[in-house]
């Protein structure tokens, strides 16, 4: 067995695990940021709901003030009924009072609808605020868990990197350069096995005689299609 090839295979296994853990580490801030955006969006929605409630409440108070003013005006008009001299004046004033009363009835109905809408929005706002509070607690717990997990991931990466460094000491410079070029060009996978005459890197068929040579692991052989380096591993060992 080619010892350099075996060392390269061991480095590939370590690099695969390092890359997997680095992906975990890089995805953690994104997940935390996503939760923070979720919380910011929910908080903004709650603020907008509160603004709507306050605006409707101001409208309700304005209409109530307007209603009180109109009621006073009707009282004054009713008082004038006793002072009118002619039936025509009496009928005109009475008609004015009736129109004002009809307008007041409409205003009272609008005030009632506003009050009902405000109460409905307040209940919805309270429910949203409660859910935001619960979610904020959940996010706090989740963030702490992720941060602890990332500490563990960092430790794993450090251990794997140290192990890789030991293996690199036994690898020829030319072999390492070749490996690093493939790692960059082939998505972090430079060394692959083959099964039933198929490259497990690009899943293309390889010539039968070449496959036989690959299974010996006694020389550097690359895939004719993807140029990855072959290191044959039995199924049991792969698992």
Residues 159 and 190 in one domain: no
| Residue 201 CB neighbours (<10 A) | 22
State how far the Cα of 227 lies from the Cα of 220, in Å rounded to an integer. Answer: 11
CA atoms within 13 A on the CB side of 175: 21
Residues 27 and 65 in one domain: yes
**pLDDT tens digits for 58-106?**
999 999 999 999 999 888 888 888 888 888 888 888 898 899 999 999 9
Dump the DSSP string for 146-201. HHHHHHHHHHHHHHHHHHHHHHHTTS-HHHHHHHHHHHHHTTT--EE-EETTEETT
How many structural domains does the chain have?
Answer: 2
| CB 133, CB 106: distance < 8 Å | no
Could you tell me the pTM of the whole model? Answer: 0.67
Residues 81 and 161 in one domain: yes
| CB 10, CB 160: distance < 8 Å | no
**pLDDT tens digits for 114-148?**
999 999 999 999 999 999 999 999 999 999 999 99
**Domain span holding position 222:** 172-239
Confidence bin at 239 (pLDDT 50/70/90): very low
DSSP code, position 205: B
**pLDDT tens digits for 169-196?**
999 999 999 999 999 999 999 999 999 9
């Amino acid at each position: 067995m080619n010892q350099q090839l075996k060392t390269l295979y061991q480095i590939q296994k370590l690099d695969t695990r390092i890359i997997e853990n680095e992906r975990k580490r890089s995805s953690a801030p994104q997940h935390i940021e996503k939760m923070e955006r979720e919380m910011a969006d929910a908080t903004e929605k709650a603020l907008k709901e509160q603004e709507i409630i306050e605006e409707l409440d101001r409208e309700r108070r304005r209409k109530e003030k307007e209603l009180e003013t109109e009621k006073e005006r009707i009282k004054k008009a009713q008082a004038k009924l006793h002072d009118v001299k002619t039936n025509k004046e009496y009928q005109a004033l009475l008609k004015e009072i009736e129109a004002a009363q009809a307008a007041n009835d409409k205003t009272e109905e609008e005030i009632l609808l506003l009050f009902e809408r405000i109460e409905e929005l307040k209940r919805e706002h309270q429910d949203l605020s409660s859910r935001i509070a619960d979610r904020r607690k959940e996010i706090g717990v989740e963030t702490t868990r992720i941060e602890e997990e990332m500490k563990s991931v960092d430790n794993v990466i450090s251990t794997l990197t140290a192990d890789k460094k030991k293996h690199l000491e036994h690898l020829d410079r030319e072999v390492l350069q070749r490996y690093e070029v493939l790692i960059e060009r082939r998505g972090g996978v430079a060394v692959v096995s083959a099964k039933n005459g198929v490259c497990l890197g690009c899943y293309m068929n390889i010539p039968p005689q070449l496959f036989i040579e690959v299974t010996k692991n006694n020389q550097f052989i690359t895939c004719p299609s993807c140029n990855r380096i072959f290191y044959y591993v039995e199924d049991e060992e792969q698992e």
